[in-house]
Amino acid sequence: MVSSAIALEATENVNKQCHSRQPVQVLAVTGGKGGVGKSNVTINLAIELGKLGRKVLVLDADLGLANIDVLCGIHTKGTLADVLKGELSLDDILVQVDDNVSLLPASSGVSNMTSLSQAEYGGLIQAFSGMQAPIDTMIIDTPAGLSHQVTAFCKAAREVVVVVCDEPTSFADAYSTIKVLNEEFQIKRFNLLVNKVTSPERALDLFDKLVDTADKSLNVMLSYLGAIPQDEQLQIGVYEQSPVVRSNPGSRAGVAFKMLAKTIDGWPEPKQPIGHVEFFVERLVMQGVTE
C-alpha cells in the first residue's frame, strides 16, 4: 500500500514523462464466470485490430491461469515478476504475437497488482513510462470471477467489454458483474459481446433481456457490441494453438471478429492524458491507495 503523497509524486512524474505521447485506448474484457471465451475474444480481436493498423498490447491479467500464450502457441521470455525485480524491462518480456500485436505475459509471482510495495509501485510506473514499443490500443484479458483484481482492471480501463454466452449461468454472472461494477465502483458504461451464439437474432434477444433486467435496478448504459457465432473452426484453432482469424479467417467466427474489430476501430480516440498506458497503470495501482 502506498501513501497519497507517493501516489501524487508518481502521477506528476508520469505527467512530465508522457504528456506528448499518443493516447491509448484501454479495453478490459470480462465476463464473470469462466468458459465464456474471454481469452479467445481478446486474442482474435487483437489480431484483427492489428490488421487495421492498430498497435496493440495484450495484457494477460489472469495471474493464476494465464493462457493466451498457449492459445497462440508461443513461449514467453519473462514475466511481470522479472520486471518488478528489476531483472528485465517490459520491452524484454514482450512477445510478438502477430503483426502489430504484442503480448505482456502474466506472472504467477504477482498475486495482486493493487497491493504493491512502494518500491514495486514506483518500478512498475517507471517500467511503463520507459517502454519503447509503440502502442495505441491495450486489451486486458481479466481473470474469471469478481475478485478485487478484476474490478481494479475494469475500473482503470476506459472501456469494459462484458462477454456473455447463451446460457443461464453466463447470463446471471454477466448481470452480477455489471451490478457490482456499477454499484460499488460507479462504472456506468458497458459494451456487451454475445459469444458462442446460434444466430444474430438470438444474440439480440439475449442483449435485450439483459438490458431489461439492468433497467429495473441499475443506472447503466449497455451498448450492443456484436456477436460471435458458435463455430467449430474456433475450437479447432484452440486445439491447433492458432487463433481462428489466423487459421481460418473466412470462417463464420473469423468474419465476426473482423466486424468486431472494425466497430471498435471506429470508436472515438481518447484525447485526455488518462488514455496513456502509464496513466492506466497509475489508475490501476491507485485502487490500492484509496481502498
Measure the CA–CA gap between 125 and 278, rounded to whole angstroms.
6
Q: What Cα–Cα distance (Å) separates residue 237 from each residue in 61, 111, 142, 242? A: 22, 30, 21, 5
What amino acid occupies position 120? E
Span 198-254, pLDDT tens digits:
999 999 999 999 999 999 999 999 999 999 999 999 888 888 888 999 999 999 999
> What's the whole-model pTM score?
0.84
Instruction: Using the predicted structure, report yes or no on whether residue 11 has a pLDDT greater than 60.
Output: no
* CA atoms of 6 and 186, how far apart (whole Å): 25
pLDDT, position 66: 60
Select 4-290's CATH number: 3.40.220.10, 3.40.50.300, 3.60.15.10, 3.40.140.10.
Answer: 3.40.50.300
Rounded-to-integer distance, Cα 171 and Cα 163, Å:
10
C-alpha to C-alpha distance for 266 and 273, rounded to whole angstroms? 20
Domain boundaries, given as residue ranges, for the chain: 4-290
- Distances in Å between the Cα of 111 and the Cα atoms of 45, 81, 223, 283 are 27, 10, 32, 18
Higher pLDDT, 280 or 135: 135
Asked whether the beta carbons of 137 and 55 are under 8 A apart, the reply is yes
Task: Give the helix/strand (H/E) hosting 101.
Answer: strand 101-104
Would you put residue 73 in left (φ > 0), alpha (ψ -120 to 50) or beta? Answer: left
- The vertex-132 CA angle with 83 and 275, nearest 5°, equals 90
Half-sphere exposure of 93 (CA within 13 A, CB side): 23
Task: Convert the pLDDT of each residue in 12-37 to its tens digit.
Answer: 444 444 444 567 888 999 987 778 88
